[in-house]
Each structure stands twice: as structure tokens, then as C-alpha cells.
Chains A and B, each alone.
Chain A
């Protein structure tokens, strides 16, 4: 980069060309007063505080908008400058509340800092002082307040909401003396478009926007957010043994300091009074508190009598890699069975079963940071702004950098506001849509021939399977106009590098694996894989779902996806664990439930999961759980599922233990113990080790998480090079096969991870969803997520503010359907499927297409999954939670 020499305030400095004078001054620790500057935002130059002079030039210029040039001498203080600054500053103070001691931002306030530096003429300022009419403080948002009386109209909040968050909830309203920061229609924050991410609150230089809880922590600990799979780095602040704040780590490559509403404000559940504090044993139908010894002895003796095929374990994508490793080791080495699975079965099982066939690995191929340079972003079946808010920020930033965005979704989601093309396909028709795009790309000869010849197999057999997918045919199936499909296909194929994002909209179908294969075909066809900023990116839903899979909490593989029926792998683990291991593949999550129902599985050990709410056809799960002889639930709260348990073991939350989480981009990151475990709760690995030890098992004598990680990572080929020392400051992305390896930014660079090293095209046919609307059940129900809640809300609904922002389930229904069924907005209706019924409030909105209704599954009072169907994908065994038929009845 070219360097520029200049002088600021008499000091000779060298800086990069293209920087502004203010940036050059800040990096050299020279203070030029400023109010509207923020390093994350483009300069706006509205506060006029950074006035400086350049020697030899007439008049003053603003430092924040003037680019440095060679040899200039910048004077930052002169009688003229001081005069201008003082006058401007006095005008700001004229209508600013003069009540610093009572202000939440006292001593952090930039206005105080500037005033102390510039000085104001008290007499002159008193004379001009004209207070605007007092405006009531807007305290409608549960997490922060807006006090217009302290606002200095610097616009940092407006620019943050635009440039960082892309939500544009705020803008300037009115003009002149009456200018205020205003939402649309000057609504209260809670009724505005605000997503409560708090980015503006963090950046507000004065006391206008401030968090309701403004306590200063006594110490902060760096860790990783426990909500979605993005894995944002956070600092949790503590006073006493209580978490009182959370802030983003600006040095983290994952989130660059940014957080969503859950990450920034959703920590209240950690110290919630309802946390489980003591082991509980059910005696005569009632839970009674017990000592750890009593509870663990009982569990150990019961488990001893139902080993092998009578036992199954549900591990968890919420707990650490170390916890998962121990739980799967316990299941395999002590209980002698491979019947272990976890909730990845309900989210990304098709990704693993699909992408392993074609690419050899089922993880996101790129890193989140790479998307800033992607040219075409194709988001299909992913409501990114709600489910992966920080990834969505990267997509919006890419858009500002000139990228094109294609959104394919049955619903008009928020991301559509940024989309260049929006394809609204009918739910469950993704295979047809994708194959239509593929056929168009082939017909128009937009394929990457070299890539196909050199790096792929089975192309010819694949092309023969496209007969039925002409654009006209696909338009009939999907409901998307042919011209739009063609335009999207062309954009994806030609405006490269292109990256595909997908989530549950692709996987949660009875043909989820086919959907994934269709995506992989599209990427291979155009060579958009194995390159920087181009690839196939399944967005993982939970904080450690990638890690739980990596650690072998699956019925068919040991840690590192080493097949249990591969004798070499079996021998490796038999040697490592000094036991004989079963080489029969275990059964999956959905099959375990059926086997329990059939009476074949007697004991279930379940960690951190809530299938009574999360599993499709929930009534069937409840019936099954009732049949268990012995059911152990290990969790941080008394969940709906824990009610069915015989023993409930209190686990420590993510803030109370050490370990690692692996985020959606394969980055293994450290989580740290911030506070002591609440009550008598214990880390999950400790509990499982204690059960094992009481069953006289060897190999569970661990005294901390790091010892477990050493054993686990050494047995997992892609983790071998990772150690706690190496990830102390920043996580590493697997594969990282040696201690010298720098981690892998994107996968499949030179060759694919398949046995042949080449990727496979897979011929496909279009299959209908299992239960489509008919005369009796005329509407199609699909499920979605809310930004404010997470999964079955066991954590988010313990946070008062999040509960307030999203109070209850709403059945989203198109205005046309609402008229047809004579339903008013906000009316309570009964939703019925062939499996159950739920009473729910309606919300009439055109984000749903005609004939499609949608619900989340965050609310136990309205268990959506009592309606959904447990028809599973034949390969991945994932239930079809995205499509089932329902009808609506009015409540009379």
C-alpha cells in the first residue's frame, strides 16, 4: 500500500494513502475533537467538530472527510478553529439536557470529552439556551431507552442501522430546530422496524440511547455465544456470581463485535431462579431432591441392567465438544451400543448424508468472512436474518459491496428486501426449482466444462435425468415464473464467484437429501465450489451442532466421521479405549423413538434436548416416553421433556464450564467458565464420567475439559492439530491435521474428500411431499423461526425482554385465505391436522403465499409439532417438519 507523509499538530507521521486526516490522527494518538465519527461507519461530516486547517490553504476543512495528501501540514488548533468549534458546541449544548450527573453515560460521554477539550463560553451559551419542548423518554423497548432530549443529532444511530444492520429502523425526521431521530411514522421503538440488536446503543456517543441495565461489570471473560451456529465471540460481564452484560468482541473475525438481540441481551437465563440446582429423583410420581451420590448411583445401577440394544442416548448440539465426546464414548464403550444420536437428525442430517456422497464432507465449504467478496449469493430455504442474524449482516455487507442476492423461499422473508431476484416456490418443490435452473444452465451452455472434466464424475448420467425439467414444466410445479428462474440461473452461473446458503427449508423434508444433492449438482455444474467465496454453505442451527457431529454423537460414526462398521476404525477406537466395540450401526433419533414405543429400548439417557416440543408428531413422542423403564434427563431447566424423566440431573450452562464449540464454518472456539456453576449443577462431561466410573468403567478419569479435548482431538483426524493453546485467542477451522497447520479456510481446494478425490453428480427425480393439502385439510403448514426465540425457547423465554418482544405464537396466513375462511387478524383459531390440534392467534400477512400457513415451534402452549408429520427422509431419517396439511376452524 502506498504511504503518505504528512504533519499533524507539528508531528511528522506516515500513513496509508486513502485514509482521512482524522483516521491518521486517531491511529497516531492525536486527539481531534469529533462527535459524529465512528470507525465502523462511513464519515458523514455533520458535527463540524473536527475542523482543521491545512497550512497554505484558505479556510477550514473537516478532518473526517478529507483524504490525506503528500506533504500537507495539518493545524488542529488555532484561534479561528477554536472559535468555530466553540460556537458550534454551544449551539449543541443550547438544547441538550444539562444534567450530566444523573446521566447513564456520565464519564463515557463524547460530548463531555469534546466540551472539556474545546471549552464553552458559559455566558454566551446561557443567553442562547433554548430548551426544546421536553420529549418523553421512549422506554418501550425492554432492553434500551431513547431519550431525545439528550440527542445531538450526530446520526451515528441512523448510519449504524443502515450501514451495519441494514434494517433502517431510524432516520432523521422533520428539519431544522425540530429535527429528531425518528422511526417510521415516529412510532415508539417497540412498534418500529427495530430488531433490538443494540448496535446503535453501543455506538451512541451521548446519553440518548442507553441500555436499561447499565451496570458496569467487575470483570469480563471472553467466550462464545450459546445461541445459533454462527459462534459470535462475546465478553460476558460479571458482578458477584451474576452475568450482567454481554458485548461483542471487535477482534473476532466471526462477528467483528456485532451481535444480535439474543447474543447481546439474552443472557438472563443463566442466573434465572428456575435453573435446576439439585439432582431430582421421581418418587411416586413426584420429583424429590437428592444428593449427587444417590442420583448417580441410581442411574449407574439402572443403566447396568439395560445395556446394549436396550439402551439409547440423545446427546446434544448445545453442549461442548468435550461433553459430546464423553457421552458418545460412554454409550459405545460402557453401554456397548451405537444407539447415539442428537438433534442434528432433525436439522442437518440430509446435509451430511447428501454432501458426504458428492463432496465427501458435510460441512460449510467457506468461511463467513469470505462472503464479503462473493458476487452472487443464492439463499434458498434459509430465513437468514431471523435464524443466523450475524451471517445475514455479512450478506447485507456483500450486497453493499456490489454482490447480487437471489432469495428462494416459499415466504417473503426480510432478506427479500435486499434481494435482486426473489423466487417464491411452493413448499417442497425445491428439487424441481433447482433442476430447472440446472437444465437452463446446460441448455444455455453456461456450464464450467473444465471444472466438470477435471474434478467431477458421472456428469453424463446426470444430464440424462433432466428430461422432465424444462422451465415450463418447472413453472407449473413450483409456481415461479419461468423467466425469473432463467434470470436467477444465469446470474448464478455467470456472475461468479457464487455461493449457496441453505438451512432448514432444504433439509426438513421427506426428500431432504434430494434437495441437498440438487444444490450440490448446481454448484458443481458451474464450478462454484472449492474456491474462495464460492461454495455450498449449510448454515448450522445450533451453537455446536457441527462439533456434536464431528465428535461422533451419531449412530454410524466415531469421532471424525470414522465409520463404526469399518474394521480399521473399530480397531483404532478399541485400542484407544481398551474395550471391545460393537460394529453394528446404531439407530437414529426418529428410530429410537419408535423402538421405545415398540418396547425394545428400555433406558434413555438424554442430554440438553426437548423432543416433546421439537420432534415432529409430538404426541407420538409423549406416548413413547411414557413407555420407558428408565429415563434420565440432563438439562439446565425443567423442560417439558424432563417432566417424563425418572431422574433429572442439573447441568452447568455454557457460562459455567470450559470447553470448545465448533461453529457453522468449522471453527473450533474456546468457551470459558465465567461464573461458578449455579446451585449444585455440574458440567455435562463430569456427570457422564461419574456415571461411567460408578459402572466400573475405565478411561473416564478426567479432571478438566482440556484433558478430554486432548484425547478427543487426537482421535479425530481433522482436529489433530488443534489444542487449547492454539485457540486461546482465535479459533481454528478444521481440517487442521497437524500442530503446524493453519486451519482450512475453504474446503475442496485441490481435491474433494471423496475416496476418488472427485465430486459426484447425482441424478434426481422430483418427489412430492408426503402429505399435501386436500379437500379435508386444505392448507399447507410450514414451520419457521423467530429472531427473538431460540429452538424450544427453554432459554429465550427465561429472558423477560425477549419474551416481551415476541409474546406468543401467531399463525401467519395470507389475506386471501383469511377472507376465504372468514378469519380476522388476531382472532384465535383452531388448527387441526390428522395428528393433533392447536389453538393459536392469527396474523394476516402477505409474506405467506396463498394456501400456505406458517407457525414457529417456540411456544410450549401451542406445540406446533403436534401437527407436523413424522414421515422421514429414507436416507437421513429427518422428519418432514416443513410440509403437512392442516385445516382451520373458528373457535365459537
Chain B
């Protein structure tokens, strides 16, 4: 079993109600919930692993693939939506060759759509890691991710 899991489990009693806090803690440490981690959690809490998986997939906050080095959060709030967020998402997906919720195989990029990042005056916008990119157009997206696309070719 991985060191980091042991370390996390030390701070818990091992009772059923600790499942969600443990899932959160593991995700915080590892960036996502791996198949192996969920298995170990189920052994630690003596909860069937199908149940652990069921709980984890119920909540939108948990992810099952590692984040990319560049984690893109796309705003789908009202203002961004009105100003063309779906088109922006499509453009990002086309450029990176991955879908929303996925991580590229080289672990460079991952895309996640979120409800609102609170920058409505800059709509449509995304964040790449912590940096906000504002007033986006398909052209700007292409510029932003062009290198990636040409690499692929």
C-alpha cells in the first residue's frame, strides 16, 4: 500500500462515516482517486468497494483520472454561456483532442467545466491552473493551444 494512504489513514478511526472525508483527503493528496486507492479505502473502512465507488461517482467533486499539468476550468455560468462558452469548449476539445472531464494521455492537459468562476465581466473565460484568460474567441483558443495541436501533427 502506498505511503501516502497509510499516512492519511493514521488520522482516521476506520469507521464508515469517515468515507467522504477520506475520499476528499486522498484526492487532495493525489489529485484524483485511483482504482487502487479506492480499494485500499474500502479495506480500511471495511465497506464493500462497489459502495466506495458508488459514493465517489455520486459526487461531482471527485475525479478518477489525474489532473493534467495544465488544468483548464471552463466557465459555464450564465454570462459565459450567453457569450458562447459551448463554442469555446468545442474549440478547446478540438485543439487538445480530449473531451470535457478527460485528461490527455501525456498528462499535459485536463478539462473541467464549472458552474461559474465569478469573472462574469470577462466572459467568456477560462482558467488554466490559476491564470484567467478573458474575452475568449475561437481564434484566441487556437493561439493558446496551437502548440499542442501542431505537436500532435
Contact = CB atoms under 8 A, between A and B. Distances in A.
A185 B54 contact: no
A175 B58 contact: yes
Interface stretch (B22-30, B44-52, B86-94, B140-148): B44-52
B50 A168 contact: yes
B57 interface: yes
A170 interface: yes
Nearest to B49: A184
B9 interface: no
Interface in B36-74: 38-39, 46, 48-54, 57-58
A168 B57 contact: no
A172 interface: yes
Interface residues of B, number: 13
B58 A171 contact: no
A162 B51 CA distance: 10
A182 B49 contact: no
A49 B53 CA distance: 28
Contact of B50 (A171, A174, A175, A417): A171
A185 B58 CA distance: 13
Contacts of B132: none
Contacts of A183: 50
A168 B53 contact: no
Contacts of A171: 48, 50-51, 53-54
Given A171-B48, A193-B49, A182 B54 contact: yes
A173 B58 CA distance: 7
A372 to B, nearest CB: 22
A665 B68 CA distance: 60
A149 to B, nearest CB: 19
A173 B54 contact: yes
B32 to A, nearest CB: 13
Main SS of chain A's interface residues?
mixed
B35 interface: yes
B60 to A, nearest CB: 9
A169 interface: yes
Interface in A620-647: none
Nearest to A161: B50
Interface in A737-763: none
A168 B48 CA distance: 6
A169 B50 contact: yes
Contact of A168 (B35, B38, B51, B58): B51
Nearest to A173: B57
Interface string A156-183: 0000001000001111111100000011
A382 B54 CA distance: 32
B133 to A, nearest CB: 30
Contacts of B49: 168, 184, 193
A476 B40 CA distance: 30
B48 A174 contact: no
Nearest to B60: A175
Contacts of B52: 184
A173 B53 contact: yes
B58 A182 contact: no
Contact of A193 (B38, B50, B57): B50
A170 B49 CA distance: 9
Interface of A: 162, 168-175, 182-186, 192-193, 417
Given A183-B50, A184-B39, A184-B50, 4 more contacts: A171-B48, A172-B54, A175-B58, A192-B50
Interface of B: 35, 38-39, 46, 48-54, 57-58
The 10 closest A-B pairs by CB, nearest first: A168-B48, A171-B54, A171-B50, A184-B49, A175-B58, A184-B50, A173-B57, A174-B57, A184-B53, A172-B54
